[in-house]
Chain A
Amino acid sequence: MSRPALYGLLAEFTNPTDLVAAVHKAREAGYRAMDAYTPYPVEEVAEALHVHDRRLPLIVLIGGIVGGCAGYALQFWTSTIDYPINIGGRPLHSWPAFIPITFETTILVAAISAVLGMLALNGLPTPYHPLFNAPRFALATDDRFFLCIEATDALFDEQETLRFLQRLEPRSVSEVEP
């Protein structure tokens, strides 16, 4: 690492097929600290990068259970303990009447967990990221596909990695300032 002041090297491709092939070759060459950037979700890229994150469904499940229990508990406690109203001797714990709101709070808290969980796991909002320094990176939200091998990778060497990326026949390779 001659210049540790580099975030990584960014290769640009024009279609998803080339990007997937490049990711496979980079994995074969031993690179691990890398990420791909695409203008729409490409399942094959995530597979090639071995991205397996199963935490979000669990977060949403927990959110739903908490929401449902809290909604029911609120109704149970207010209707039977804190503010019991006797209406013609009807039961205070009238559970069928509590189901609609329990359902709504389950959905509400689960949905909030899904959104906040996704943002938190993705580290968003990210006001600053080195990749935004790369001039061509703006095309990642338009029609280009990028592979970035990061300087933190054990195998990263500015010259060596540059030569490796150029062999993948990208449209361009650029350095990313941190």
Chain B
Amino acid sequence: MSEPGKHTGPAGPTRAPVIQPGHTFGSVTDRISSVVLSERMPRLWWLGLGVGFLLVTVLLVAVTHLFMKGTGIWGVNVPVGWGFAIICFVWWVGIGHAGTLISAILLLLNQDWRTSINRFAEAMTLFAVACAGLYPILHLGRPWLAYWLFPYPNTMGMWPQFRSPLIWDVFAVSTYASVSAMFWYVGLIPDLATLRDRSPSRAGRVIYGMLAMGWRGSARHWHRYETAYLLLAALAAPLVVSVHTVVSFDFAVSVVPGWHATIFPPYFVAGAIFSGFAMVLTLAIPLRVMFGLEDFVTMRHLDNMARVMLATGLVVAYGYMTETFMAWYSANPFETYMIMNRFGGPYSVAYWSLIFCNVLMPQLLWFRRVRANVPLLFVISIVVNIGMWLERYVIVVTSLHRDFLPSSWGMYSGTIWDWATFAGTIGLFLSLLFLFIRFLPMISIFEMRTLVPEAEVREESP
């Protein structure tokens, strides 16, 4: 193994470090790759995968029943035609956004603390988008014709309606899924080579070897690799903003009170980042304990993520305020009624719960002691996740259930199948995440090596 770490780097940062001192290239490689290469996984991993897999079977049952009976098994009906499917779609897409934000935007801003969380945040993006992508397809009624959404020459002689936000959504989400997958895979290539070279089994060497595509760390390769990685980050950064903007257009381009608002795109993007960071915290806090990775995911990371949550939470709160203000300032009776109905109507419990979860609870993050309290941070992150789900519930249901004509008013609630599908996608997400942790390095090994003090080339050459 290599020599003990030589501390020749600059004086330590004033805040908690992004990597605990004393690590060398070898110890970073060992610690992260050992999670993948070890024979045994901790009991909690089996528990997590077990729960996830159980819920996947619930999803399979729910989807099978849906395919047999149709969308009538869900709670959607006139006037609320967009129920859980759209609520959960927006929720999952939003969760995915923190992964891209951490990996792309923080890379462009040269934030070295992103390094130990970007890999699993990107994985989280992919799995969240996979869960999100299921919903619109399941909601189609005839999901086996989902390919009709794509423009291809067909015997019907028809093309998609490109002026519809729903088609924009197809392009935005599929582009987002593709670019996220490519970004994630490109980031993995050098680490796959590390696993190829360290795997004790022949199967591991062959499989990781094929995935690594013959990567050997050549300086010429690294040069183009870094260019490609930066360009991908620069492309992904505006993409992530555009995706949730297009998702908000699904609402904002309509004329329904409570949806037809120009604040929607920025408010949705901020909400997406808010919920995404909450989900990263929800996942990172147990994982760092489960696999003993506190050296790499330090208090500095948790503190920074809490700050981003606080900042985006305030933008979301501003969005709620603007909605209320515009309802009054527009002097439009339908807008005014919509907001009064949210405050005091049949769904007011959901509205005030979301205000508690998304506006009041995050205010605790102003205090340094709260940001340093890991269990409390975990609780706040879960509360925010629930709050963001409620936000989409309120937006979708309160606006639709009482629109312009009282004769068409109605009530909506999810059925057991709505809940089963939602629980099932959570299971799908958990299963994919735990399998990812088992088979791929959850922290970028090569990027962590750059944080080791020895990694800098010293001026005086020997």
Contacts and interface: CB of A to CB of B under 8 A. Distances in A.
Given A21-B462, A83-B157, A100 B2 contact: no
Contacts of B161: 85
Interface string B442-462: 000011011000111110011
A118 B225 contact: yes
B150 to A, nearest CB: 11
Contacts of A101: 162, 167-168, 171
A113 B394 CA distance: 41
A150 B335 CA distance: 74
> Could you say which of A121, A137, A169 has the most chain B C-beta atoms within 10 Å of its C-beta?
A121
B217 A38 contact: yes
A42 interface: yes
Interface string B45-77: 000000000000000000000000000000000
B112 interface: no
Contacts of A126: 213-214, 216
Given A111-B179, A140-B216, A56 B227 contact: yes
A164 interface: no
A98 interface: yes
B234 to A, nearest CB: 9
A111 B219 contact: no
A142 B179 contact: no
Contact of A35 (B171, B182, B219, B449): B219
Interface in A80-100: 82-83, 85, 94, 97-98, 100
A129 interface: yes
Interface of B: 1-3, 24-26, 29, 151, 157-163, 165, 167-168, 171-172, 175, 178-179, 182-183, 185-186, 190, 193-194, 196-198, 210, 213-228, 231-232, 235-236, 238-239, 242, 246, 249, 446-447, 449-450, 454-458, 461-462
Given A83-B159, A114-B231, 19 more contacts: A16-B457, A20-B461, A39-B25, A40-B447, A56-B227, A60-B231, A78-B159, A100-B165, A104-B246, A107-B238, A112-B182, A114-B232, A119-B213, A140-B197, A140-B216, A141-B190, A141-B197, A143-B26, A169-B462
Interface in A24-43: 24, 35-42
A141 B178 contact: no
Contacts of A119: 213
A40 B455 contact: yes
Contacts of B450: 40-41
A17 B223 contact: no
Contacts of B447: 40
Q: Closest 4 interchain pairs by CB?
A: A126-B214, A143-B25, A125-B213, A118-B228
B182 A115 contact: yes
Nearest to A139: B197
A24 B159 contact: no
A100 B246 contact: yes
B151 A78 contact: yes
Nearest to B162: A75
Given A37-B216, A79-B163, A142-B26, A105 B457 contact: no
